Structure 1
Amino acid sequence: MTTDSSLLSSELELQQQEELYQQLLLQTVGKIPTENPDSKVIRPQPGLCVKTLTEPDKQKVFVNICQSPVVPLPPEISRDELVELLQSEDPSGFRVPMSLGEPHTETDNNSQACTAYDVIINQEFFQKCQKDPLFQQFVILVSLEGLENKYNLELSRDWKVLKNRKFLGSVSEQNIRTQRRPVIQELQPEAGSTAAAQRPEFSLLVEPPAGDPEFLIAEIKLPGVRSSRSLVLDVGEDRLLLTARPSLYSLDIFHPFLIEQQSSVAQFNSSTQILTVTMPVVSS
């Protein structure tokens, strides 16, 4: 394992951090699902069909939001909690497990060629969305964001739910994960540690939360650290090592994923004093 000091970006602006993160997300384009004992081939049930446009070329896109009991159920959330979440600075804190299918060419009502995408969510959660317009708008929004990230798209937020059509094209089978993967795993310092440097609080996020992992994201809280220049980060194939000088924090963890070390990126937010390490996962 070799140290790569370039992984630490010095004092990136929030806009630069977002652009860098989006570049990582775009690397998922073209990945082919692999066989997995925890996956299953299913034929989803139609749900609702959303019509929107690509930006800026204004090409028609249809999103088939389908349902299946096999897709993991997202965490329980009330309407009040969802409203509060949407009003917060980070509405992405609530993640909906979903399967994003490959694009397929279809014909619209005017006999014009168009592109359709199939998104599968949990059947029980879909029914909840059907009963509450707020939940429906939310699941449409996260579906569009998921497609944008995976296929390098920009989709209009001026969408329309088709009233008399639940699906455009024909329902095809998809290979999806049947075992629920932890979305966020909170890791606390080990009891009885006598090291001089403190082990910081951190969390690991698997992205996407359902299906084959594409990214492992570590968020490390470093209160008292003012600049990334005091940090030494080492990203290995299955290990992450961080030191905050002088002897302020020390973190050394192993994880069950194989990481693309050269494509990993780290960003330190001096305002929140949180280090975010985004690590692409090597496909199995």
Structure 2
Amino acid sequence: MASDQSLLFPEEDNSYDKLFKLKTTPQQDTDKANQPAFNAVRPDPGFCLKTKIQNSSDKVFINVCRSTTIPAPKDITEEELLSIIESPEPGKYRVPMSIGEPHTEQDKSGQECTAYDVIIHKDFYEKVQTKQVFQGFFLTIVLEGLENKYQLELSRDWKLLKNKRYMGTSIVEQHIRTTAKPWIMEMEGEGKEDTNQGPSESIKMAEEPAYTILKEPPEGHPEYLVADMHLPKLKTAATLTLDIGEDRIVLQTRSLIYGLDIYLPYDIIQEDAVAQFNRKTKVLSITMPVQPC
């Protein structure tokens, strides 16, 4: 089902209360204007994984590369990772990575094959190389990431190539989006919630509003997430406190009318998130650009 395009770029209307907007100084505006949208990155080779398309003979090679341009994930031990994997929320440990476009290569027999480049931070790469738990976890999320991004179904009968660090004649340059520090205005009198903590007691006591989250485009990796929250008991946005994290939305209201604490299936670009409350329909619409893969 296609999403309503008007949700992505709502028209100006007196019935809207804007909650979140970019808060910049003239110097910050200049800095952002001069800042390139993407960085060209040519990573160092790492190791190569061989697999194939499920129920097919089409070979797929995954080049795991390293660079300091990609952020490092949180530094945890193997024991901590095992505990997270076995917990009800195994997806809460996130590994930043850049998944590149497919490129056609030739295998050792001269047959055409497809290769993908995945870049991770060099320090995390060392963990993947030396610690079995991290390697198994990482390769699992890499295969899932490729499947989600390119609508593939990859065989889990994979093989690490011992004498090949990269499949291809030369390392492919990737263009990775730069991420500026978010300048989102916080509501007065409310501090930012610690996104590592669970919902506060006040949120647990409040009514959870009905909401929908659509992705645009609806197929593949989205460019936007659009959340609509139905708040019929509210008269104005002045009673709302909304905190948008990297992968989380926390909403609270005065007098504990509504409360919501949810995690998102994608990382978003916080500094470009915009929320508007329509006093006529009593709907809070939040438009959130999604981080590219």
Relative to the length of structure 2, the TM-score reads 0.56
Counterpart of 1:115 in structure 2 is 114
Normalising by structure 1, report the TM-score: 0.58
1:154-183 deviations in Å (ceiling 9; x for gaps): 11222111011011002121112455879x
State how many pairs are aligned: 210
1:263 aligned residue: none
Q: What is residue 278 of structure 2 aligned with on the other side?
A: none
The match for 2:39 is 40
Offset at residue 89 of structure 1 (A): 3.1
Aligned to 1:15: none
Report the CA distance between 1:232 and its aligned residue.
5.9
- Structure 2 counterpart of 1:281, which letter? P
- Report the CA distance shift for 1:244/1:86 in structure 2 as closer, same or farther (over 3 A): farther
- What is the SS of the residue equivalent to 1:55? coil
User: What secondary structure does 1:125 align onto?
Assistant: helix
Percent pairwise identity: 39
Q: Which residue pairs with 2:171 in the alignment?
A: 171
SS of the aligned residue for 1:143 comes to: helix
Alignment match, 2:63: 64
Provide the C-alpha distance between the structure 1 equivalents of 2:125 and 2:105, rounded to a whole number of angstroms: 24
**CA contact 1:239–1:252 (8 Å) conserved in 2:** no
Map of 1:158 onto structure 2: 157
State which of 251, 272, 281 in structure 1 corresponds to 2:289.
281
1:90 correspondence with 2:89 = yes
Alpha-carbon shift at residue 123 of structure 1 (Å): 0.8
Q: State the match for 2:27 in structure 1.
A: none
Q: Distance in 2 between matches of 1:283 and 1:71?
A: 13
Distance 1:132 1:254, change over 3 A: closer
Q: State the alpha-carbon separation in 1 of the partners of residues 68 and 190 from structure 2.
A: 44
Residue in 2 that maps onto 1:231: 210
Deviations 1:225-267 (A, max 9, x none): 89x8x626699999865538699xx85538699xxxxxxxxxx
Check conservation: 2:195, 2:245, Cα contact below 8 A: no
Unaligned runs of 5+ residues in structure 1 are 8-34, 183-187, 194-200, 205-218, 258-272
CA distance in 2, matches of 1:240, 1:220: 22
Deviation at 1:56, TM superposition (A): 3.2
Cα distance in 2 for partners of 1:136, 1:256 equals 28
8 Å Cα contact 2:210/2:229 also seen in 1: no
Cα RMSD of the aligned pairs, angstroms, is: 4.7
Alignment of 1:243 onto 2:231: yes
Q: Is the 8 A contact 2:63 2:118 kept in 1?
A: yes
CA distance in 2 between partners of 1:243 and 1:42 (Å): 45
Equivalent pair of 2:49/2:63 in contact (CA under 8 Å):
yes
Distance in 2 (CA, whole Å) between partners of 1:180 and 1:58 is 43
- Larger mean CA deviation between 170-179 and 111-120 belongs to 170-179
Q: For the structure 1 residues 192 and 80, does the alpha-carbon distance in structure 2 shift closer, same or farther, using more than 3 Å as the test?
A: closer
